Structure 1
């Protein structure tokens, strides 16, 4: 399992909305808004009671490739894949989560926060990792410092990134894609601001293509 697998699943998408969706009723309108904004992938976090149904609804939306995020256990991996997840993202590195993803044939992107954790991921045969939480860890300087001794690694930085910081991350050669929640926040969803979600998504996707 390597970055080629994930890159193939993402099909060139470089901006990944990271979604914490409190209600399954929001999933359809949210998927429509993201797709209308040009998003081709999304990560649904397993942080809410409705996460599985949200993932299932959004995965059925023809315009999006949907993965599961905040996956902490093998049991969650199995539930996510059954719900339609095409890839799995975890905040940290866990051997059992990685093994289950391999068994089920889905790319896994474990979170790392240090060179030691990155070396553990490499020993497990992974060459794509999630730098998390990217901004609190030091942002672009931290990413560049890790990329220098590990040129074979591709990063999906996530955590504290917003629209203003996005271009710098996308310009980093080691970055495969960037995850962020600013395009569809809890406040946007609570207020039903799907037009604003579409606008922010289009802005991010357009910026990633320039």
Structure 2
């Protein structure tokens, strides 16, 4: 899958599930709920030691139905292991030059966390595919993206934290390119996750109509 195709799919989905999960059984429950609701992009966080195995098993089980990537990737060693496990994109809470170089080498989109315009432009100039507004998106809310996009309208931004069913429309109106969502898409039963995913995706579809 080419880098541009991966990015296009992320942008078209508009919603990404941010998942921290201990077992493959629970990962499958979450995935089934997300896919049933139309959310087909998922980040598996490397805050847990079994992240690589989860990515591998989900990639094999769902193939092209699910676009799966790795999150909380702090170094190039972890990035390479994640890619070998099947990760189609790499996300981090920080910018790391060696991770950026490695991802570009293998044509994998890299989305580092940045807190300032200087950090964001540094990352993009080095080859990052998108910047993650972290942890500032959960603090400032939707107005943050609009503020970033005013001087740099070409800058692709992913939010991480702060989005919910009540304010999803405001996030979309802010110009955000992808919205990372945690609890709504990872807590509760498969049916509850599916219901939340459906509402989030419907908001995206309605906004873009």
TM-based fold match above 0.5: yes
Q: 1:102 matched to which residue of 2?
A: 104
| 1:7 corresponding residue in structure 2 | 7
The reply on whether 1:75 has 2:91 as its aligned counterpart is: no
Instruction: Report what 1:178 is aligned to.
Output: 179
Give the whole-Å Cα distance in 2 for the aligned partners of 1:204 and 1:104: 32
Query: How far does residue 162 in structure 1 lie from its aligned partner after superposition?
Result: 1.9
The corresponding residue for 2:170 is: 168
Question: Using the alignment, how far apart are the partners of 1:195 and 1:50 within structure 2?
Answer: 25
In 1: Cα distance, 2:28 partner to 2:138 partner: 32
Q: Which residue of 1 aligns with 2:144?
A: 142
How far, CA to CA, are the matches of 1:182 and 1:163 in structure 2? 11
The unaligned stretches of length 5 or more in structure 2 are: none
Moved >4 Å (runs of 4+) = 3-6
**3-state SS of paired residue (2:12):** coil
TM-score scaled by length of structure 1: 0.88
- Shift in Å at residue 140 of structure 1? 2.2
Match runs of 1:95-134 below 5 Å: 95-126=97-128, 128-134=130-136
The corresponding residue for 1:85 is 87
Instruction: List gaps (5 residues or longer) in structure 1.
Output: none
Query: Does 2:23 correspond to 1:23?
Result: yes
**Deviation string, structure 1 residues 82-111 (Cα, Å, up to 9, x no partner):** 111111111111101111111222011111
Equivalents in 1 of 2:11, 2:151: separation in Å? 27
CA distance 1:11–1:147, change in 2 (3 Å): closer
- Computed over aligned residues only, the root mean square deviation of the Cα atoms, in angstroms, reads 1.9
**Distance of aligned partners of 1:90 and 1:163 in 2 relative to their CA distance in 1, 3 Å threshold:** same
Query: Structure 1, residues 44-65: CA drift from partner, whole Å, max 9, x if none?
Result: 1111122112111222314211
Show the counterpart of 2:198: 202
* 1:12 aligned counterpart, secondary structure: helix
Q: 1:112 to 1:15 in 2, by over 3 A?
A: same
Asked if the contact 2:11–2:177 (Cα under 8 Å) also holds between the matched residues in 1, the reply is: no
Between Structure 1 and Structure 2, which shows a larger proportion of helix residues?
Answer: 2
Offset at residue 127 of structure 1 (A): 5.5
> Larger deviation: 81-90 or 160-169?
160-169
Q: TM-score, normalised by structure 2?
A: 0.88
CA contact (8 A) 1:44 1:55 kept: yes
Count of aligned pairs between the two proteins: 202
Query: Displacement, 1:9?
Result: 4.1
The alpha carbon displacement at 1:67 in A equals 0.9
